[in-house]
Structure 1
Amino acid sequence: MSRAVERFRTLIKRLEQFEPEEINDREEAAISDLEAAIRTAVEKTYPAGSTQYNQLTQAFMLDRAGYNIGNETSIHEVREGLKDGKRVALTSLKNAIDDLEDDLKHYEKGLPGRSPTISSANKDNKKVFIVHGHDEAARHELARFIEKASLQPIILHEQASGGRTIIEKIEEYSDVGFAVVLLTPDDVGRSRDADELQPRARQNVVAELFYFLGKLGRSRVCALKKNGIEIPSDIGGVIYIDMDHAGAWKTTLLREFEGAGYMIDWGNALR
């Protein structure tokens, strides 16, 4: 536990030295390197899916700026988002240190501390959330493929509403280890300076993409896109896979699932 405390203290020093006002591009390595360091430190300290781990996932993404569909997000918005992300990460890590130090005191007195608890929803790590638009055929194909891989697809409209709003349902059923976002050409649009309309995913689909980026981190979110669809220009680090007719996307997606720690049935999935 003392090593974990020192690990988090080192991160806090790095965060305190991180100056959002000095950032000129949201793709700068200073951001992604620090995000990776936070994620690595948390993963070394707590098992994925534990209560403590889940509480710290909000510190994984420093870049909390909004995304303007079809237009670049201004550097002012990026810096403000980074300030917010820095504040959240610092608070989360300081709270984690307090908890660890309390556990250490209990341990030194011979009293039981709190062990990392894994929720029953995350313990088996089989759930994959599917974000989708109006392409029912693509949604069905993806869901059945995930099932054949011995995983559990979570499709929001198939879950009980219980009088909840859409965002409340997303929060309720987003206790997953991975999200696949289907970007299908359900809408069209263009920037103010462009002449032709371009196929785009629905805005609610893009919004849910960003929700899961913030909740799970970039390494656990994949965008599966169709038909040369236009994608937001200022998303960095997102995994994009073309949903080709030949089905090569299936092998690529299985590798992403494996990289996220899923136990999958390759033979059945590709049969």
Structure 2
Amino acid sequence: MTKFLGSAAEFRQAIDALGLRGAWEDFAQGLRYRTTDGGTVQWYASTKTVQIQGNRAAAEKLRTATAAMHARPTPAVPASVPPQSRNQIFVVHGHDHPAREQLELILHKLGLEPFVLANTSGGGLTIIEALEARIGQGGQHACGIVLLTPDDLGYAQAEGAEALRPRARQNVVLEMGMLMAAVGRRHTIILKKGNLEVPSDAGGLLYLSFQHHVKEVATRLADRLRDAGFDIDARRIISAAS
């Protein structure tokens, strides 16, 4: 006996990929496949146990064919990353907590679930590590929102202090780039508060600009989310914009 730690669908796919001749049968406790040469392989859903039976030649052939498959474990999900919702959206933000809370409220009104690291235990993750875990390889988030707020001040040295302008925090700009690289520009929505200097290399991006409250762009935000594949009821949009 050995174990296959994947799901039922993954077990069926793995057996089918071996190219054996046979057929699947109904089996109350899991899955069963009978080969034409008299072998049987059964997978028990509750224990993940695989049992091979049949005549000696057929059973040995099955053991040899499935040996590599058994050695392939299901990738483990880090304990610090909770299960993700299909309606969950990763939120990148700076130090403007009222603006972040406004965005969270609007997303909730739209029937979506914002993931904000500051609102979770975080599992010891930094925001960069959370991005890698939840958006990067193996992550499931299909969309992210970047909230650019005037948290810092800066100017180009060549222009002098007279060119001083509000800027988003540098880590937010970095995380915006990571998000775009992971999910693409179409699934990265950027909100910009006030007369904010935007990164020079990101001048061609579409920003949703507001002055005082995120609800100023709630309708346009909902349109962008719909474009990204989210199903949002029109009544929720009216509620979010009010």
Return the alpha-carbon distance in structure 2 between the equivalents of residues 143 and 134 of structure 1.
Answer: 15
1:153 maps to 2:120? no
Distance 1:254 1:198 in 2: 30
Cα distance in 2 for partners of 1:144, 1:154 equals 12
Q: CA deviation at 1:234?
A: 1.3
2:159 maps to 194
Aligned position for 1:255: 223
**Structure 2 residues not aligned, in runs of 5+:** 1-13, 25-76
Question: What do residues 142-174 of structure 1 show as CA deviations (whole Å, max 9, x unaligned)?
Answer: 000000000000101112232334422333343
Asked whether the equivalents of residues 156 and 170 of structure 1 are also in contact (C-alpha less than 8 Å), the reply is no
Aligned to 1:93: none
- What amino acid is aligned across from residue 178 of structure 1 in structure 2? C
Runs of at least 5 residues in structure 1 that lack an aligned partner in the other structure: 1-102, 113-118
Structure with greater proportional strand content: 2
Kindly indicate whether residue 125 of structure 2 is the aligned counterpart of residue 164 of structure 1. Answer: yes
Q: 1:237 to 1:171 in 2, by over 3 A?
A: same
Q: 1:227 aligns with which of 190, 194, 197?
A: 194
Name the CA shift for 1:132/1:110 in 2 (closer, same or farther; >3 Å).
farther
In structure 2, how many angstroms separate the alpha carbons of the residues matched to 1:248 and 1:110?
62
Question: Per the alignment, in what secondary structure is the counterpart of residue 202 of structure 2?
Answer: coil
Deviation at 1:110, TM superposition (A): 5.9
In the alignment, residue 260 of structure 1 is paired with which amino acid? Answer: A
Scaled by the length of structure 2, the TM-score of the pair is 0.59
Give how far 1:130 is off. 1.0
Return the alpha-carbon distance in structure 1 between the equivalents of residues 21 and 204 of structure 2: 45
Matching residue of 2:147: 182
Aligned residue for 2:145, secondary structure, equals strand
Instruction: Note the C-alpha offset of 1:186.
Output: 0.3
Q: Which has the higher helix share?
A: 1
Whether contact under 8 Å (1:149, 1:266) holds in the other structure is no
Check conservation: 1:242, 1:249, Cα contact below 8 A.
Answer: yes
Q: Is the 8 A contact 1:129 1:178 kept in 2?
A: yes
Structure 1 Cα separation of the partners of residues 112 and 21 of structure 2:
42
User: Equivalent residue of 1:270, what SS?
Assistant: helix
* One-letter amino acid of the structure 2 residue matched with residue 149 of structure 1: L
Deviations 1:110-134 (A, max 9, x none): 689xxxxxx9956x62011111111
RMSD (CA atoms): 3.1
Contact 1:129–1:155, Cα closer than 8 Å, also in 2: yes
Q: Which residue of 1 aligns with 2:58?
A: none
Higher relative contact order (CA 8 A, sep 6+): 1
SS in 1 for 2:207: strand
Q: TM-score, normalised by structure 1?
A: 0.53
Aligned residues: 164
* Identical aligned residues as a percent: 35
Q: State yes or no: 1:138 paired with 2:106.
A: no
Match of 1:208 in 2: 175
**Structure (1 or 2) with the larger CA radius of gyration:** 2
- Please give the alpha-carbon distance, in whole angstroms, between the structure 2 residues aligned to 1:110 and 1:128: 45
Q: Which digits, 9 at most, give the CA deviation of each residue in 1:179-230, with x for residues without a partner? A: 1101100001111221321100000100110010111011000110011100
**Where does residue 39 of structure 1 map in the other structure?**
none
